[in-house]
Structure 1
Amino acid sequence: MKTLLLSLLGSVAAFAIEPLINTTWLQQHLDDKNLTIVEVSSKKSYESGHIKHALHTTIDRWRMNNGTFISVRTPQEIQNEIQSLGINRSSDVVLYADIQTPKDFLKASYIFWALHYHGIENVALLDGGKQAWIKEGAVLDRYTAQTESSNYTVKTDPARIADRVYVENHIGKLPMLDARPSDKYLGITPTATVARDGHIKGAMSYSWNYSVDNDYKLKNIKKLEKLFTQGYQLDKENEVIVYCTGGLETSFNYFVLSGVLGYKHVRLYDASMKEWGNLEDTPMIQYSYEVFQK
Structure 2
Amino acid sequence: MKAINNIIIALLLVVTATVSSYAQADIISAKDFTALVKANKELVIVDAAKSKTYKNAHVKNAIHINHNKLYKDGDVSGIIKSPEELAEFFGNLGISEKTEVVLYDEGSQKYSSRLYWVLKYIGAENVKILHKDMDEWKKARIMLTAAASKAHKPVTFTPNVDESIYATTDYVAENLENPNVIVVDVRTAAEFNGEKAIKGDKAGHIPGTINIDYKEFETEAGAYKSVEGLTALAEKYGISPDKEVIFLCKTSVRGAVSYVAFKNVLGYENVRLYDGACAEWCTKKPLE
Which runs of no fewer than 5 residues in structure 2 stay unpaired?
Answer: 1-22
Higher alpha-carbon deviation: 163-172 or 125-134: 125-134
Identity %, equivalent residues: 25
Shift of 1:143: 4.8
**Within-5 A mapping of 1:1-294:** 18-33=25-40, 35-99=43-107, 105-128=109-132, 133=137, 138-141=142-145, 142-173=147-178, 174-195=181-202, 197-228=203-234, 230-279=235-284, 282-285=285-288
Distance of 1:81 and 1:31 partners within structure 2: 27
Gaps of 5+ in 1: 1-15, 286-294
Indicate the larger mover: 117-126 or 252-261.
117-126
Determine the C-alpha separation between the residues in 1 that align with 2:50 and 2:77.
22
CA distance in 2, matches of 1:237, 1:91: 32
- Amino acid in the other structure paired with 1:140: L
8 Å Cα contact 1:247/1:271 also seen in 2: yes
Give the counterpart letter for 2:132 in structure 1: G
- Assess, with a 3 A threshold, how the Cα gap between structure 1 residues 143 and 134 changes in structure 2: closer, same or farther: farther
Q: CA RMSD in A?
A: 2.7
Give CA-to-partner distance per residue, 1:231-261, whole Å, 9 cap, x none: 2333334422111111211111111111221
Any idea what SS the aligned residue of 1:95 has? strand
SS in 1 for 2:39: coil
TM-score normalised over the length of structure 1 = 0.79
TM-score calculated relative to the size of structure 2: 0.81
Distance in 2 of aligned mates of 1:91 and 1:222: 32
Q: Which moved more, 1:40-49 or 1:127-136?
A: 127-136
The structure-2 alpha-carbon separation of the partners of 1:132 and 1:39, relative to structure 1 and needing over 3 Å to count, comes to farther
The amino acid that maps onto 2:130 is L
Residue aligning to 2:19: none
Q: Is the 1:62–1:73 Cα contact (8 Å) retained in structure 2?
A: yes
* d(CA) in 2 for partners of 1:236, 1:132: 30
Higher helix share: 2
Q: For residue 221 of structure 2, give the secondary structure of its aligned residue in structure 1.
A: coil
Q: 1:178·1:204 contact (CA, 8 Å) conserved in 2?
A: yes
SS of 1:72's equivalent in the other structure is coil
How far off is 1:155 after superposition?
Answer: 1.8
- Kindly indicate whether the alpha-carbon contact (under 8 Å) linking 1:127 and 1:216 is maintained by their aligned counterparts in 2: no
Structure 1 residue 109, shift from structure 2 partner:
1.0
CA apart distance, 1:98: 2.9
Decide whether aligned partners of structure 1 residues 121 and 266 sit closer, same or farther in structure 2, where only a CA change above 3 A counts.
Answer: farther
CA 1:198/1:44 → structure 2, altered by over 3 Å: closer, same or farther? closer
Partner amino acid, structure 1, of 2:220? N
Q: Cα distance, 1:27 vs. partner?
A: 2.0
Q: 1:183 to 1:17 in 2, by over 3 A?
A: closer
The number of aligned residues is 263
1:270 CA drift (Å)? 1.1
Q: CA deviation at 1:177?
A: 0.5
**Could you report, residue by residue, the CA deviation over 1:85-104 in whole angstroms, capped at 9, with x for unpaired residues?**
333333332101135xxxx6
Cα shift readout 1:213-248 (whole Å, capped 9, x = no counterpart): 2321112222202321x2233333442211111121
